[in-house]
Structure 1
Amino acid sequence: MADRRELWRSLETISLHCVDVPWLVRGDFNAVRYISEICGASGDIRMAMEEFNICIQNAGLLPLPMQGEWYTWHNCSVSPRNLWKRLDRMLINDRWMERFPNSFYSSLTTRTSDHSPLVLYGDRQQQLGGMFRFDNYLTLSPNFIPGVQRVWQHNIIGVPMYVVTRKLKALNAVFREQRRKKGDLTHNVQLAKGFLEMAQTLVSSNKGDELFLQLEHCCRIVFAKAAKLEQVMLRQRAKMQWMKGGDQCSRVFFHKIAQRTSARRILEITDDQGVTHMDPGEVTNEFVSYYQNLLGGERRRDVIDIRFLRPKARHLLNEEDTSSLLLPFTPADVKQAVFDIAEDKAPGPDGYSSGFFKAAWPIVG
């Protein structure tokens, strides 16, 4: 126990120097995070489990996605005291997730050791140049849908919202590359305009020449496409209200929110009977049960005579309106809510606009 506490303090100290660099911590921690990571009879591990989780929070570490064997250690016993635990894992910070969004590790079957080998699978490091923002003109590219499909077909382990955010992060590099290939749109518009003026001059000096007429027509198409892309980009960026230093302010702001959220995490709770619950599912159920009793109970069963409210109410819902409000949400409702948002509205903290979700809805919907 004392050696583990020294390790926890060391990790918290090292984390102060890894705020701006990718950091991965891996190996045998000799501690579990949750009761679900133990199979078999074990002693009281609540203190060790709590200290391990507090260390992970204070160090700003996150679990790296894992595949393979869930339990990574076995006591190699065939007696009733057969015990399995998940003692080995890999943890990362947010900078690692930004640089290597597709990385994960695999837990293999134990062989010569009583611990499972852990194999890290990485991907190409991404050089990020400030906060990512999606430009809606990229949806007009023929490479847009294939690029989204390639990333979205990857299998990522985790809850649905976590999977979506990881895939969106992985798409950042794809769209940065597409944007680089487009070049400076304003400069391209000026070039296309110059080509068009040159073609018109040639046509006027060679009236009736079919070749020059075709050249002018092609230059008109190129200029129209370039101008359309530039117009889409300028309209969207005007809504974004870009300002000097905005990237840094946004990054610090959302980092502080993440730190504040992780600090408010509740690891255990004691119910009315004095029983302490540490399993995440039990903690959640205890909260729900408490507020159901607080806000519900017998009072929810009291019948209110609507006639007493009618003289003072200007608008009353009929039974049909009430029934429609109580219906569960459908995929069509979600799609309508997304498609009601204008495409050039300012994006959220992940940098993706509603225009992206509309154009990629057949894949990401």
Structure 2
Amino acid sequence: MLNAAVRNVRGLNRRDHQIVIRKLAINSMLHFIGLLETRVTLPNAARVQNGILPRWNWFSDYNSAGNRIWLAWDDDFLDIAIMDIGVQFVHCRIFIRSSHIYVLVTVSYGANDMGSRRELWQALCTISGSIGDDPWLVGGDFNAVRDLSEVCSTSGDIRLAMNELNDCILNTGLIALPMRGERFTWHNCSDDGRSLWKRLDRLLANDKWIERWPDVFYDCLTPRTSDHSPLVLRGDCRRPPQRKMKGDLSANFKLAGEFLEISQRLLQEDRHEPLLLHLEHCCRLVFLKAVKIEHVMLQQRAKIQWMKGGDQCSRVFFRKVAIRRANKRIFQISDEAGVDM
């Protein structure tokens, strides 16, 4: 899977901010990172980028207002082509060399005001129409929450903004990935006692991404040098291939039957030999296990054929299943005071 992270860094001119990003890339073994709100001017960009990850490739769009998004990747592992650019997003196609697959990634940085954010929602809906069957990941700072549980403290009337974000997620066919770690991704760092926490940052994916990597989730790490938490993609589910049985099951049944016949013949010669009794017992266990395996395999084949022929494998059905799985996964448990156990 793509080893990726996104983060609103709230400025990269300071050396300590640069060191934090470098450590994040090294400690999480990243191959791709999206950085938001760098606040670095064009004359200083190359110096800052080389100070963080000098061997990586970098993309920054200084033609768009504010230069809001940087991309960085290790070209020993990835090939990247920029597909589309907007003031609030960068959309790219990534070739993962280790698995020889293409994925699509959109790094987003939503505007502060609700009216301008509508341009991002429209852009994501437009992009979704060109995705096809490719795995698609969308991540970044959306500057909006999905429901009131993602806000701690007073934040005014945000229901319309919430509805617009949820409509965008629904219309694009994206699925909210499970999150582990910090509950809120942003804190206003207020010194006047009016602290405010929100979940403004998130990772979303389409059904094709989750179908390929069913165990995908992301870690929301401690913010440290920024008011936003880094989001690190996790959950590579590349399972080891199952070992193939030598020969087909019919040959295994035949072998087990011959073994049972021989043991019974020996028992007729000496019915009180403990070793032969043990031999027969082991043989019967092998035979019963083979029967059970055959039964399970026949069930699986029938299920696969039914799913292929029916409508249960539609993308709408799979998306509902993926959402239900994501919502039911438990990563941590807290006590009544909200302290992680």
Q: Structure 2 length normalisation: TM-score?
A: 0.47
Higher strand share: 2
Larger-gyration structure (1/2) = 1
Task: Name which structure has the greater RCO, CA cutoff 8 Å, separation 6+.
Answer: 1
Q: Structure 1 length normalisation: TM-score?
A: 0.44
